[in-house]
């Protein structure tokens, strides 16, 4: 069996017009995707992880046949996204923005029936499938199968959107930030289902997010994307192993002034966040914590700060992302 | 993927939308009367109803209510097909329609039918009571004949409307053009002004619209004028079949352009 998704050096540049006064305008070119390549297999979840504007949605749109790439090639379920778009469309389930995408005067079930007709599902099969999905996503418990879409909460909208993506039981799912803005129970439900779909039903799932925690718990493989380029890829553990062997000294300080000042003499990368009025969280990235920890604590105490808590941690995925996007941590 | 499944889905969408939005239902019933009142008001301002009767041989109320009804019904496909992609784009549903494997010609052919059925049923609240008032029981038969002819006109209009919609949507900010296209089609079809009185050049251009021939048949029937119904029907059907591939091409060309630019997620 061929790979579920094969992307080879695709590029996409947008032409953006910016207005200068009433009559003048200038054209700028924004390279959204700069020759990215990756593959995804059946039975796995591949995550495109990156900040806003990294090129995640552009990539999903190209794979969903909603946007033509400028160069390069992409195949979904073995079909070329440009030349065999209709075949690609038969093999994908798509979930884009969570907030919109259904008809307000139809209820959840009626909306699914509508899209089932567009997807070419025979009516009897469609109705059975909708029954199954309504239960699976607990839309019935929320009353979303009978309630008009215009009265839905964001969580209900997200579940309905995932139900539509699963409607035709396509082997490949393209999910663009499926948990964006959701309450924790809805987000958890969606993450659970996504994992179930990949591992139990052998689907290939391309999942975009800018949430590190989510990428770490949902995805089997992560592609770190920044400014249109994949800067690193691997499993969450592999990615953490790839960065220099730094550890994080995590300090909670009750400060009498700016705790950054006395720490200036330590040249390691530092992150200082104010948690409450006088409580600060300080992260210091060091290769050998045992060499400097005592001195750091002593310096802080001598400067009149109270060290409430000290922990030495392994770098998080967030640290990995910063490392690859900024070149260091 | 069957046409009837798409049709059923569209019927459900349209009827739920209309019945769950009572103002839409109310306006559908009121439209022919509002149009007629407006046209009569303009007419009275410029002359008397007798002038109209003298010139056309028909009571202006009868003529105008029929014209308004024809306009609403036959132009519904133009309305639906021009506005629906814009609505879907705004609603966030267009991306799911374009990324679906649905046969585009079948899909766009199905779009106006639910609205047609609503409008044809509205014949009972618009032309039927007026015809009965003027003609008695004979008015029932006449209104049924007119409604049947309008139904034919509606169906024949669909591929033309798909063609026009595809062309319009290829242009940026198509909603501006759409507002102009509708009255142009209305004038060229000769709905309010008997088609056979339109200047020759207008008549020729109007002949590109399949349903304009059906409008002519209805007008000649109402005015008791001789009509070569078979020939007019044959031309209308020929145009219908010619616009089928043209419509399919037009909508495909629009979609290709849309995908080149990138379909907006909204």
Question: Does any CB of chain B come closer than 8 Å to the CB of residue A301?
Answer: no
Task: Classify A150 in phi/psi space as left (phi over 0), alpha (psi -120 to 50) or beta.
Answer: alpha
pLDDT at B20 over 90: no
CA distances from B191 to A98, A154, A183, B65, B66 (A): 45, 47, 55, 11, 9
* Residue A134 in domain: yes
Q: Is residue A290 part of a domain?
A: yes
What residues of chain B lie within 8 A of the CB of A148, using their CB? 20
The CATH number given to whatever domain includes residue A203 is: 3.40.50.300
- Residues A104/A96, Cβ–Cβ less than 8 Å: no
**Reported confidence tier of residue A170, pLDDT bands at 50, 70, 90:** very high
Taking the Cβ of residue B265 and every Cβ of chain A, the question of whether any pair is shorter than 8 Å is answered with yes
What is the per-residue pLDDT across A133-155, written as a single tens digit (0 to 9) for each?
A: 999 988 998 888 889 999 999 88
Q: Are residues A224 and A171 in the same domain?
A: yes
CA distance A73 to A38: 11
Beta strand A172-176 pairing with A92-95? parallel
Evaluate whether A146 touches A108 at the Cβ level (below 8 Å). Answer: yes
User: Which domain range does residue A51 map to?
Assistant: 42-61+79-241
> What was the ipTM of the complex prediction?
0.85
**Tokens at residue A89, please?**
């469309």
Length, in residues, of chain B: 266
Whether the per-residue pLDDT at B250 is higher than 60: the answer is: yes
CATH number of the domain at A305, please: 3.30.70.1150
| Same domain for A201 and A57 | yes
Question: Residue B37 contacts by C-beta under 8 Å, 6 or more apart in sequence?
Answer: none
A234 and A253 in a single domain? The answer is no
Q: Do A118 and B13 touch (CB under 8 A)?
A: no
Last residue of a domain, one of A241, A276, A301: A241
pLDDT attached to residue A176: 92
Average pLDDT of the segment spanning A224-245: 84
DSSP β-bridge partners for residue A90: none
Q: Is residue A306 domain-shared with residue A204, that is, in the same domain?
A: no
Q: Model confidence over B101-127: pLDDT tens digits?
A: 999 999 999 999 998 888 888 888 888
Alpha-carbon gap, residue A293 to A312, rounded angstroms = 9
Burial class (CB in 10 A: 0-12, 13-18, 19+), B48: exposed
Residues A117, A166 within the same domain = yes
For the cut 60, the answer to whether the pLDDT of residue B92 exceeds it is yes
Last residue of a domain, one of A207, A241, A275: A241
Q: Which two tokens stand for residue A279?
A: 């409580």
Residue B266: list chain A partners with CB under 8 A: 97, 100
- Note whether A92 and A188 are same-domain residues: yes
A198 and A168 in a common domain? yes
Residues from chain A that touch B100, judged by Cβ atoms under 8 A, are 89, 115, 118-119
Is the residue at A71 inside a domain? no
Looking at the domain assignment, is residue A25 inside a domain?
no
Q: Judge whether B146 and B221 are in contact, CB under 8 Å.
A: yes
- A97 and A230 part of one domain: yes
- Same domain? For A165 and A231 the reply is yes
Q: Do B96 and A68 touch (CB under 8 A)?
A: no
Q: What chain B residue is nearest to A100 in terms of C-alpha separation?
A: B92
Domain edge (last residue) among A241, A259, A288 = A241
How many folded domains does chain A comprise? 2
Q: Is residue A14 part of a domain?
A: no
* A19 lies in some domain: no
pLDDT cut 70: percent of chain B above it: 98
Write down the pLDDT at residue A329: 45
Are A179 and A271 members of one domain? no
> What's chain A's average pLDDT?
89
Which residues 6+ apart lie within 8 Å of A59 measured at CB? A7, A10, A33, A36, A48, A208, A225
A182 and A263 both lie in a single domain: no
Establish if A51 belongs to a structural domain: yes
Residue A1, pLDDT score: 58
Average pLDDT over all residues of chain B: 87
Same domain membership, residue A311 and residue A185? no
Evaluate whether residue A34 is within a structural domain.
Answer: no
């Amino acid at each position: 069996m061929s790979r579920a998704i094969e992307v080879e050096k695709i590029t996409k540049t947008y032409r953006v017009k910016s207005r200068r006064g009433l009559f003048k305008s200038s054209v700028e070119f924004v390279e959204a995707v700069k020759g990215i390549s990756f593959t995804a297999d059946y039975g796995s979840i591949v995550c495109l992880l990156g900040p806003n504007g990294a090129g995640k949605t552009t990539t999903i749109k190209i794979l969903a046949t909603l946007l033509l790439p400028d160069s390069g090639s992409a195949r979904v379920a073995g079909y070329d996204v440009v030349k065999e778009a209709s075949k690609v469309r038969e093999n994908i389930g798509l979930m884009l923005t969570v907030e919109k995408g259904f008809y307000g005067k139809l209820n959840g079930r009626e909306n699914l029936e509508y899209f089932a007709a567009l997807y070419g599902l025979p009516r009897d099969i469609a109705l059975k499938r909708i029954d199954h999905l309504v239960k699976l996503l607990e839309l019935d418990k929320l009353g979303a199968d009978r309630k008009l879409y215009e009265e839905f909460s964001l969580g209900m909208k997200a579940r309905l959107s995932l139900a539509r993506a699963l409607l035709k039981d396509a082997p490949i799912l393209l999910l663009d930030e499926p948990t964006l803005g959701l309450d924790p129970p809805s987000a958890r439900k969606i993450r659970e289902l996504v994992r179930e779909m990949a591992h139990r039903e052998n689907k290939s799932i391309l999942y975009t997010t800018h949430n590190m925690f989510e990428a770490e718990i949902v995805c089997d493989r992560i592609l770190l994307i920044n400014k249109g380029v994949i800067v690193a890829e691997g499993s969450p553990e592999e990615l953490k192993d790839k960065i220099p062997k730094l550890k994080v000294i995590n300090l909670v300080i009750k400060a009498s002034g700016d705790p950054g000042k006395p720490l200036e003499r330590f040249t390691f990368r530092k992150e200082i966040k104010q948690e409450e009025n006088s409580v600060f969280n300080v992260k210091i990235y060091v290769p050998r914590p045992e060499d400097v920890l005592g001195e750091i604590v002593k310096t802080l105490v001598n400067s009149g700060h109270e060290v409430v808590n000290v922990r030495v941690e392994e770098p998080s995925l967030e640290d990995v992302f910063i490392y690859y996007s900024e070149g260091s941590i | 993927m069957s046409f009837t499944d798409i049709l059923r889905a569209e019927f459900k969408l349209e009827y739920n939308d209309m019945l769950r939005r009572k103002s839409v239902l109310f306006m559908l019933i009121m439209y022919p009367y509002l149009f007629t009142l407006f046209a009569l008001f303009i007419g009275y301002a410029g002359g008397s109803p007798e002038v109209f009767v003298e010139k056309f041989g028909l009571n202006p109320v009868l003529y105008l209510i029929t014209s308004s009804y024809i306009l609403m019904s036959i132009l519904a496909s133009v309305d639906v097909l021009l506005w629906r992609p814009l609505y879907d784009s705004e609603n966030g549903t267009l991306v799911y329609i374009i990324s679906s494997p649905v046969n585009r010609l079948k899909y766009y052919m199905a779009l106006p039918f639910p609205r047609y059925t609503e409008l044809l049923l509205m014949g009972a609240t618009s032309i039927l009571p007026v015809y009965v008032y003027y003609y008695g029981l004979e008015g029932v038969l006449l209104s049924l004949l007119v409604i049947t002819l309008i139904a034919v006109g509606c169906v024949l209009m669909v591929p033309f409307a798909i063609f026009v919609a595809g062309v319009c949507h290829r242009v940026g900010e198509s909603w501006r053009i759409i507002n102009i296209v509708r009255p142009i089609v209305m004038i060229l079809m000769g709905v309010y002004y008997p088609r056979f009185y339109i200047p020759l050049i207008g008549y020729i251009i109007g002949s590109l619209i399949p349903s304009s021939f059906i409008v002519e048949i209805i007008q000649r029937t109402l005015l008791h004028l001789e009509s070569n119904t078979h020939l007019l029907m044959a031309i209308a059907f020929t145009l219908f079949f010619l616009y089928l591939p043209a419509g399919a091409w037009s909508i495909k060309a629009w979609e290709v352009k849309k995908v080149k630019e990138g379909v907006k997620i909204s």
